[in-house]
Copies of this chain bind each other. A is one copy, B any other.
Amino acid sequence: MKLVGAALFVAFVVPHVNALSQQKGLDWESRFRSLTNKENIRENDKRLSARPHHLGSPYDKENAEWILARFKEWGFDAKIETFNVLSPTPKERFLEMVGPTTFTAKLKEPTIQGDPTSDQQSEQLPTFNAYSVDGNVTAPLVYVNYGIPGDYDELERQGISVKGTIVIARYGASWRGIKPKVAAEHGAIGCIIYSDPRDDGFFQGDVFPKGAYRNKDGVQRGSVLDMPIYPGDPLTPGVGATKNAKRLDLNDVKVFTKIPVLPISYGDAQPLLENLEGPVAPESWRGALPITYHIGPGPAKVHLKVTFNWDLKPVHDVIAKITGAVYPDEWVIRGNHQDAWVNGAEDPISGISAELEEARVLGELLKQGWKPKRTIIYCAWDGEEEGLLGSTEWVETHADELAQKAVLYINSDSNGRGFLGASGSHTLEKFINGVARAIQDPEKGMSVWKRSQLLQISKARSPEDRAEIRRRPDLRIGALGSGSDYTAFIDHLGIASLDLGYGGEDGGGIYHSVYDDFYWYTHFSDKDFGYGQALAQTGGTAILRFADADLLPFDFGGFTETIQRYLSELKKLQSSMREEICERDKEIEEGVFTAISDPQKSSVPPSREELPPYLNFAPLDNAVEKLSRSTERFEEDLNKLKQAGNNSLNGNALRKLNRQLMMSERTLTSPEGLPGRPWFRHMVYAPGMYTGYGVKTIPGVREAIEQKQWKEADDQIVRAALIFENEATLIDSASADIEKASESHSGN
């Protein structure tokens, strides 16, 4: 579902306690990496993307069965778990302009000569947005830029209301599901989303098939389920969509859109946009179509009709296990989805193809005598595109067991050419940096860590940032929002997670279109699957290290430092909002807005606003200080332990310590969850209510401030503080155990 982001990063020393075990670990690791073969990844990609294979399609099932067979062949204990989920598909799709001139949208991606899979029209899903409600509306059109809340503030300043209109928003700046959500909140009765060539088309580069970018007929399909409330099957929130699960009535579902939505190409959008009058759109709103962008409303008047088959469909998750030899009840999980909107050679097949190569090589190691200490589970998710259905239902179904056993989840979702991108739990920052130092970049004679570091140096925004990148042993990793299958693991259950992928040299515009296929991928992306191999090496090395580590390689130093930064950000957010409102009120009083407005253009000056109160950040300040002291103590204890060498911790002590480390991410969750969305239980990371994919860190507090809910912000500060105090307590308990074990050892 998600394209690889820009969050770049990367460990220095993996805190393996047992030096001997570490050495052996590295042997298996090197062997693992040298056994990966990019040709296999190519063959996987070719096979899995050969036909359209969306949720519920014949080839989706065929692929699941093929993957199952491979896992079994490689020695995994594998099975398919099937869930029954609500997955609407289009019955009618109709968009026409009824005035001032008429035009009927094509809503069709044509076959491209030379591209052998683009003609599989009988199997292709048409262009649509999943979980749009049925609708049949006719109304004047309004252009709302990206359709995010700030755009509606601008409309208000221009005196334009979208009430009773159909809005047309361009893709970008937020996850697509935000656009109809915000439009409906402002009274719109329909929503069209189009790919503007400025962001996703000829402005960026030559279009397909000459080049990699979106052509005028390409359409971005995609889900518009209100996933910031809960992802997964809309009918079974919080529980697995098993055969006999209790299901909501369709009318009681809160996560469908409120208004009908349809995605279109820029070829279809241009006639509509050309027929808007009213104010010229602000400069930052203008795209690359050869027109003057106006806002409207109208005169373009459009008729939009969409209806759907509201059917249950089977989701086929492939789950493959190697049981751990020492700690079978500690699970290291790896996943990537296998369903696609159409052929999906990039999204997601480039990712699952690498994951399968990892699994093949792990199978090879098994044959060579390797036995992982922990249980390894490889997953191929289905129904990710509609709303993370396969992974969410599996997690919800196995929630109790996962809460007890899951150590780590490593996700990928598509892959490309370029630089390693890594996001995840900050307790894993040092770990994944270490992995990245072990992987060679296939284009350059250096590690992917080094290449990322040098990229970050070149992109640093200030000399201070640049100095930090040069000095800090680890590159920072991004926090996880949503948009892929880690969501249920980290956000619902608090399982430490990572999301990995390569990109940055693989620009293109075929996302969620029929042109995301093997022809495109092998002409414009990671053509020889060299980065596919790098991803298999990265994912596999991470799995091996975690599965075989004596002491689990979680680290609290980078985590605590990151939390300190988030706290500073929150304070700065609050103070800059104060300053902004104070300044704006002053300018209203001075008459700035009336003085500078052009009398020949309509504009509405902003209204005076109450100055926000000062918030009580003291609970967070105290909790983060406590966390910081606990982290220091733990790091000192760990250092002493390492210096003491082997066998400092006996089996039981180690097992207990590992259990505490495993629970450190769980401790960051709260059973009540976030305000208004109890499914989201992580108190540090969540997708934003109005960003969709984009993360909000310490989300309870941050979103309360952003939405100017001052009382709520004060309450959420107390809740977040409690979480960090609990985390500090857990870390202190781990330290006490190490200290006790060391004493008893040195006492011997």
Residues of chain A touching chain B, judged by Cβ–Cβ distance below 8 Å, are 197, 202-207, 211, 213, 280, 286, 288-292, 418, 443-444, 446, 450-451, 454-455, 457-458, 463, 466, 505, 579, 583, 587, 590-596, 598-600
Contacts and interface: CB of A to CB of B under 8 A. Distances in A.
A211 B418 CA distance: 46
26 contacts: A202-B292, A204-B280, A206-B280, A206-B292, A207-B292, A288-B288, A288-B290, A289-B290, A290-B290, A418-B598, A443-B599, A444-B594, A444-B595, A444-B599, A450-B595, A451-B596, A454-B590, A454-B591, A454-B592, A454-B595, A454-B596, A458-B587, A458-B592, A458-B593, A505-B598, A505-B600
Given A207-B292, A450-B595, A457-B590, 4 more contacts: A213-B292, A289-B290, A444-B595, A446-B595
Contacts of A418: 598
Given A458-B592, A599-B443, A291 B451 contact: no
Nearest to A455: B596
Contact of A455 (B211, B450, B595, B600): B595
A463 B579 contact: yes
Instruction: Give the one of A202, A290, A450 with max B CB within 10 A.
Output: A290
Contacts of A204: 280, 292
Contacts of A600: 505
Nearest to A600: B505
B205 A596 contact: no
Contacts of A455: 595-596
Shortest 7 CB-CB contacts between residues of A and residues of B: A290-B290, A454-B595, A454-B592, A505-B598, A202-B292, A206-B292, A455-B596
A670 to B, nearest CB: 38
A202 B291 contact: yes
Contacts of A444: 594-595, 599
A107 to B, nearest CB: 21
B587 A457 contact: yes
Nearest to A270: B290
A288 B197 CA distance: 11
B454 A292 contact: no
Contacts of A202: 290-292
Contacts of A280: 204-206
A634 to B, nearest CB: 34
Contact of A592 (B289, B457, B593): B457
A463 B576 CA distance: 12
A65 B528 CA distance: 77
A404 to B, nearest CB: 44
A290 B197 contact: yes
Contacts of A466: 583
A610 to B, nearest CB: 21
A226 to B, nearest CB: 33
A528 to B, nearest CB: 11
Contacts of A290: 197, 202, 288-290
A208 to B, nearest CB: 12
Nearest to A446: B595
Given A292-B211, A457-B587, A579-B463, A286 B595 contact: no
A264 to B, nearest CB: 17
A205 B292 CA distance: 5
A289 B291 CA distance: 9
Nearest to A594: B444
Contacts of A286: 203
A199 to B, nearest CB: 11
Nearest to A593: B458
A186 to B, nearest CB: 26
Contacts of A289: 290
A339 to B, nearest CB: 30
A446 B592 CA distance: 12
A664 to B, nearest CB: 35
A291 to B, nearest CB: 6
Instruction: Give the one of A203, A204, A587 with max B CB within 10 A.
Output: A203
A268 to B, nearest CB: 15
Contacts of A595: 444, 446, 450-451, 454-455
Nearest to A294: B206
B458 A596 contact: yes
Contacts of A505: 598, 600
Instruction: Give the one of A204, A288, A444 with max B CB within 10 A.
Output: A288
A332 to B, nearest CB: 32
A533 B594 CA distance: 22
A651 B211 CA distance: 81
